Amino acid sequence: MKLGLCTWSYNRTFASGKMDMEKLLYVCANDLKIGGVDIIDIHLKSQEPDYLLKIKKLATDLCITISAVSPGNSFGKDKDVDEKAEVAKINSWTDTAYLLGSPNLRIFAGWAPKERHAELWPKVVKSISQCAVYAAKKGVTLAVESHNSGGYLPTSVETLKLLKDVGSPWVKLNLDSGNYHDPDPYAALEKSIPYATHMHAKIHKLSPDCRELEFDYDKIFAILKKANYRGFFNVEYEGKEEELEYVPKSFEMIRRYMAKYGTF
């Protein structure tokens, strides 16, 4: 297993202007001492090639892998023109991931009123399938992340159905350890992890002594170890405390579990 950071962990710090991608990469290398980063789209200043190549070179010089690029998107639009725009957006970000040397592009299925999920589902499947054809030409895997708050993929049932319906080897999972709303989210993680190409280590409530109070990381790491998961496990801190203090604490916690379960 490889340890990395999802840049969302520092989202408030980015928004304040105290962080940008260049600074973030130095923090990863010199302070957090990790080997990977998953870049949220809004944390890049642009998609211009000159800028992206600058970021890629700095990451390479610091021996950091850009493990995923993560745009925001939502398929299943009512108007075809809007749906085509979402497909074009993901294809554009596939180009960005390719230029940055990232093997994965994290995407969403999207959001819609629950009563319309069944109606819009075929459109979601079609759009992701189209994006997969384009991604295959670039050698970029689309890593779908389940999501709540009205998303099409609140549980592992819908998530694994999407993979089956799309049926492409270029569509796998960005498996977030805290997103599933299954009755037993840990059983859902265990069922889903064979399809994971990339993972997020969700952290919501971290105590001052580095204990996660919402998610059971003993259960999570038992699943990781049993599955022999060897991809990136990227910390995604979403707590309310000061990010500059609590993101390093998050890595302290994750490293403690890595040592306990021998998942280095």
For the entire predicted model, the pTM comes to 0.97
What pLDDT was estimated at residue 149? 75
Q: Domain ranges for the chain, please list them.
A: 2-261
- Class of CATH domain 2-261: alpha beta
pLDDT in tens, 227-263: 999 999 999 999 999 999 999 999 999 999 999 999 9
pLDDT at 65: 98
Provide the pLDDT for residue 205. 96
Tens digit of each residue's pLDDT (9 = 90 or more) over 70-86: 999 999 999 999 999 99
Query: Measured between alpha carbons, how far is residue 170 from residues 70, 138, 142, 159, 230 in Å?
Result: 16, 10, 6, 15, 18
| All residues at 6 or more sequence positions from 96 whose CB lies less than 8 Å from its CB, including other chains | 44, 47, 52, 69
pLDDT at 59 over 80: yes
